[in-house]
Amino acid sequence: MTTTTAGRDALATELEGPVPEALDPLADERLAELADLLAAAKARQAEDLAAGAEEALRFVPRLLRGPFRRALGA
């Protein structure tokens, strides 16, 4: 019998390190679901940050927009 570790591997990738041993009782498909959720949260966060920065510019006084953009790395 072979044990699938695709879910564990995916979660390790998203966690950027080994999956905590405390999660050993979980089936691999559960680990895969957690990996998907974390990946989606990361993607959402990146989008939010980008959109927030763009939106923020509307509120920044014209004078400060250049330095503000540079600080954001945009």
Partner 1 sequence: MSTTLRARAEVVRLARLLGTEPAELDHLADALPPEAIRELRDRCVEVLFDAGSERLRGAASAAALLPTPVAASLAQKAMGPVLCALLAGSVDRRRTVDIADRLPPAFLAEVAIHLDPRRVPDVVAAMAPARVAAVTEELTARSEHVTMAQFVDHLTPEALDAALAVVDDDALLRTAFLVDDPARIDRIVTELPDERVVGLLAAARTSALWFEVLAVIDELGPRAKGRLADLAVDADRQVIEELAAYAQAEGLWASVLPLVGSISPDRRGRVAKLPTFHKAAVIDAIVLAAAESDRWADLLPLVAELPAKAQRRVAASVARLDADLVQDAVAAATRAGLIDDLALVLGAMEEPDHDEVVGAAVRRTARDRTWADLLPLLAVLPPRTRRRVAEQAAALTDGDLVALVRSVDAAGLWEPWLEVIAELGHPTQERLRGPMAKLSKRALRTLDHQVDGLGLRGRLGPLHDLLDGDR
Q: Which residues bind partner 1 (CB under 8 A)?
A: 14-17, 20, 22-23, 25-26, 30, 34, 37-38, 40-42, 44-46, 48-49, 52-53, 55-56, 58-61, 64, 67-68, 71-73
Cβ-proximal residues to 63 (8 Å cutoff; 6+ apart), any chain: none
Burial class (CB in 10 A: 0-12, 13-18, 19+), 45: exposed
What is the smallest separation between the CB atom of 12 and partner 1, expressed in angstroms? 10
What is the smallest separation between the CB atom of 9 and partner 1, expressed in angstroms? 16
What is the smallest separation between the CB atom of 45 and partner 1, expressed in angstroms? 6
Cβ-proximal residues to 56 (8 Å cutoff; 6+ apart), any chain: 68
